[in-house]
């Protein structure tokens, strides 16, 4: 860190502070300094300090009112930690807090350093990354960029991923890993585990093999946190995160043809363990996110049917080209060699989800191409024979969402469905009546009771297993 060789430092406390060539306002500006910048103190003249900026490799003068001078002797460590405690939960002061945490770690004897400063350091770095990822104006952009540079000068590393046309910035979590490696309390371990397992900080370009290893690690980190002494809202956060991680593990195991029921059931159990009356307002979106992730993989909890029903409309799956699964539609007169229709996919085909209408003219099937995205395939018979319509949860690029069959409307070419997906950063859930001939939405509502057809003809099996009615 930048403070390594300094005994007395001046920590900049204001943004856009000027480093000048001489101790007067009219002197040439050498650099613009930001809160959290640390300067070596070399002298004092009038109301200015003579300093040297090691990061920019230049010296100059700065007003004494714009900095706080700080000794890095061991005796000063408790005072530095007190400032860190104050700043750790102060939005907008992350760069300043990180500089004080770095100063404390320099001043304190090694045997006196516990998990607290690392917990604070990680908390501030994580919050800074969240602020930088949020939508903001040009003025905020300049300040945040400067604060990120200050944080980087203390060894705080960030990773950037492109999502929805913008950059998602994430702290790499080094301080939190130190917290987990030390004798920390349950609250500190919970904060570290939650920060290290954020789903939005999983690299979207990660390979399946690396994703399997990462999710196994995420599950292990979360399971090491004891919930007994935590407040209910923090227990909820851990249950929600565990639910989302185990839903991903269920998908990955099923994709590898490994038993996935235990993982899927674990995801459902974690979601069910959430105390809804104690969900903090900021966690409402996290609850929806976890529920949709679990819903996307919920069919992994169901046993796969042994064989197609004799004589009825059914699907048979078989391996296709590398990584593909081919879905064959058959009935009493058409077997796998002479099918009604055939379509291949790289997604997971959940045969337990098959539902056939009374006229044997349509079949609904859940297909999951990604761990958090499940589509609905609808095979139906028309004037020109059989075809399939693939219905995604939303029109945007695959993110987090599902679309599921909810029932057939007798005596009509209509079907009931539910879709829930994140669009433009917000979740939307709708219960719909679809026309089979065009797959257009005839009616929709945010509550099934508001649609008479939906309320009357919803499938009992769907109602029993769906998470959309949570």
What is the model's pLDDT at position 304?
84
Question: Same domain for 348 and 298?
Answer: no
Task: Give CA–CA dist 190/435, Å, rounded.
Answer: 48
What is the model's pLDDT at position 192?
98
Question: Same domain for 211 and 296?
Answer: yes
Task: Give CA–CA dist 166/153, Å, rounded.
Answer: 24
Question: Same domain for 233 and 285?
Answer: yes
pTM value is 0.91
In a domain, 22, yes or no: yes
In a domain, 166, yes or no: no
Question: Same domain for 392 and 461?
Answer: yes
In a domain, 88, yes or no: no
Q: Whole domain around residue 411: which residue ranges?
A: 340-465
Considering 278, 303, 328, which residue would you say is the last residue of a domain? 303
Question: Long-range contacts of range 95-98, CB-CB < 8 Å, 24 or more positions apart?
Answer: 95/34, 95/35, 95/36, 95/128, 95/146, 95/147, 95/150, 95/151, 96/11, 96/13, 96/35, 96/36, 97/36, 97/124, 98/36, 98/124, 98/125, 98/128, 98/150, 98/151, 98/154, 98/156
In a domain, 141, yes or no: no
What is the model's pLDDT at position 4?
46
β-bridge mates for residue 318, sequence order:
326
The pLDDT profile of the chain, 470 residues, written as one tens digit per residue, is 445 455 689 999 999 999 999 999 999 999 999 999 999 999 999 999 999 999 999 999 999 999 999 999 999 999 999 999 999 999 999 999 999 999 999 999 999 999 999 999 999 999 999 999 886 666 678 999 999 999 999 999 999 988 777 788 999 999 999 999 999 999 999 999 999 999 999 998 899 999 999 999 999 999 999 999 999 999 999 999 999 999 999 999 999 999 999 999 999 999 999 999 999 999 999 999 999 999 999 999 999 886 555 568 999 999 998 889 999 999 989 999 999 999 999 999 999 999 999 999 999 999 999 999 999 999 999 888 999 999 999 998 889 999 999 999 998 999 999 999 999 889 999 999 999 989 999 999 999 999 999 999 999 999 999 999 98
Question: Same domain for 282 and 346?
Answer: no
CATH number, domain with residue 23:
2.30.30.40
Considering 35, 54, 71, which residue would you say is the last residue of a domain? 71
What is the model's pLDDT at position 371?
95
Task: Give CA–CA dist 214/228, Å, rounded.
Answer: 26
Question: Same domain for 349 and 454?
Answer: yes
In a domain, 2, yes or no: no
Task: Give CA–CA dist 100/68, Å, rounded.
Answer: 11
Task: Give CA–CA dist 246/344, Å, rounded.
Answer: 27
What is the model's pLDDT at position 1?
47
Instruction: Produce one character per residue of 101-110: b if its CB has 16 or more CB atoms within 10 Å, e if not.
Output: bbbbbbbbee
Number of helices (H) and strands (E) in the chain: give both, helices first: 12, 20
Question: Same domain for 201 and 293?
Answer: yes
What is the model's pLDDT at position 407?
97
CB-CB contact of 167 with 133 (8 Å): yes
Task: Give CA–CA dist 16/459, Å, rounded.
Answer: 63
Specify burial of residue 12 (Cβ count, 10 A radius: 0-12, 13-18, 19+): buried
In a domain, 290, yes or no: yes
Question: Same domain for 430 and 362?
Answer: yes
Question: Same domain for 245 and 298?
Answer: yes
What is the model's pLDDT at position 163?
76
In a domain, 163, yes or no: no
Enclosing H/E stretch for 125: helix 116-133
Pull the structure tokens for residue 29: 């500006």
Give the side-chain half-sphere CA count within 13 A for 446.
4
Enclosing H/E stretch for 119: helix 116-133
Of 429, 324, 426, which Cα lies nearest the Cα of 367?
324
CB-CB contact of 313 with 356 (8 Å): yes
Considering 274, 303, 332, which residue would you say is the last residue of a domain? 303
What is the domain count for the chain? 3
Question: Same domain for 190 and 281?
Answer: yes
What is the 8-class DSSP label of residue 72?
Answer: -
Residue owning tokens 């102060």: 90
Residue owning tokens 């949860």: 393
β-bridge mates for residue 293, sequence order:
none
Question: Same domain for 274 and 352?
Answer: no
Question: Same domain for 355 and 446?
Answer: yes
In a domain, 83, yes or no: no
Instruction: Produce one character per residue of 250-260: b if its CB has 16 or more CB atoms within 10 Å, e if not.
Output: bbbbbbeeeeb
């Amino acid at each position: 860190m930048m403070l390594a060789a300094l005994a007395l430092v001046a920590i900049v406390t204001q943004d856009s502070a000027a480093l000048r060539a001489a101790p007067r306002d009219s002197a040439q500006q050498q650099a613009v300094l930001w809160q959290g910048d640390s300067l070596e103190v070399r002298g004092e003249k009038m109301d200015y300090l003579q300093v040297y900026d090691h990061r920019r490799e230049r010296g100059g003068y700065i007003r004494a009112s714009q900095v706080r001078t700080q000794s890095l002797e061991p005796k000063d460590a408790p005072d530095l930690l007190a400032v860190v405690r104050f700043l750790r939960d102060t939005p907008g002061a992350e760069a300043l807090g990180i500089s004080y945490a770095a100063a404390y770690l320099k001043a304190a004897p090694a045997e006196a350093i516990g998990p607290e400063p690392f917990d604070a350091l990680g908390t501030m770095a994580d919050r800074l990354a969240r602020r930088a990822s949020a939508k903001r104006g040009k003025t905020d952009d300049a300040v945040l960029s400067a604060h990120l540079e200050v944080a980087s000068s203390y060894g705080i590393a960030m990773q950037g991923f492109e999502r929805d046309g913008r950059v998602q910035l994430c702290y790499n979590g080094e301080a939190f890993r130190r917290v987990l490696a030390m004798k920390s309390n349950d609250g500190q371990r919970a904060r570290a585990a939650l920060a290290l397992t954020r789903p939005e900080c999983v690299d979207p370009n990660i390979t399946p093999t690396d994703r399997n290893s990462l999710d196994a690690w995420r599950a292990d980190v979360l399971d090491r946190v004891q919930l007994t002494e935590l407040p209910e809202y923090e227990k909820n956060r851990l249950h929600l995160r565990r639910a989302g991680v185990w839903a991903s593990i269920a998908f990955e195991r099923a994709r590898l043809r490994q038993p996935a029921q235990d993982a899927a059931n674990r995801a459902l159990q974690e979601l069910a363990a959430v105390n809804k009356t104690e969900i903090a307002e900021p966690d409402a979106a996290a609850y929806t996110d976890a529920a949709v992730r679990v819903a996307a993989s919920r069919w992994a909890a169901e046993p796969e049917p042994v064989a197609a029903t004799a004589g009825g409309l059914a699907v048979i799956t078989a391996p296709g080209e590398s990584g593909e699964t081919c879905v064959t539609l058959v009935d009493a007169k058409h077997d796998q060699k002479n099918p009604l229709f055939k379509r291949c996919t790289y997604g997971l085909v959940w045969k337990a989800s098959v539902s056939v209408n009374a006229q044997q003219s349509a079949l609904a099937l859940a297909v999951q191409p990604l761990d958090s995205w499940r589509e609905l395939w609808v095979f139906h018979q028309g004037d020109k024979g059989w075809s399939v319509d693939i219905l995604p949860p939303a029109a945007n690029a695959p993110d987090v969402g599902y679309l599921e069959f909810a029932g057939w409307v007798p005596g009509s070419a209509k079907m009931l469905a539910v879709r829930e997906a994140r669009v433009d950063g917000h979740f939307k859930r709708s219960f719909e009546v679809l026309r089979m001939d065009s797959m257009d939405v005839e009616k929709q509502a945010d509550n099934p009771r508001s649609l008479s057809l939906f309320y009357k003809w919803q499938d009992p099996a769907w109602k029993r297993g769906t998470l959309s009615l949570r």
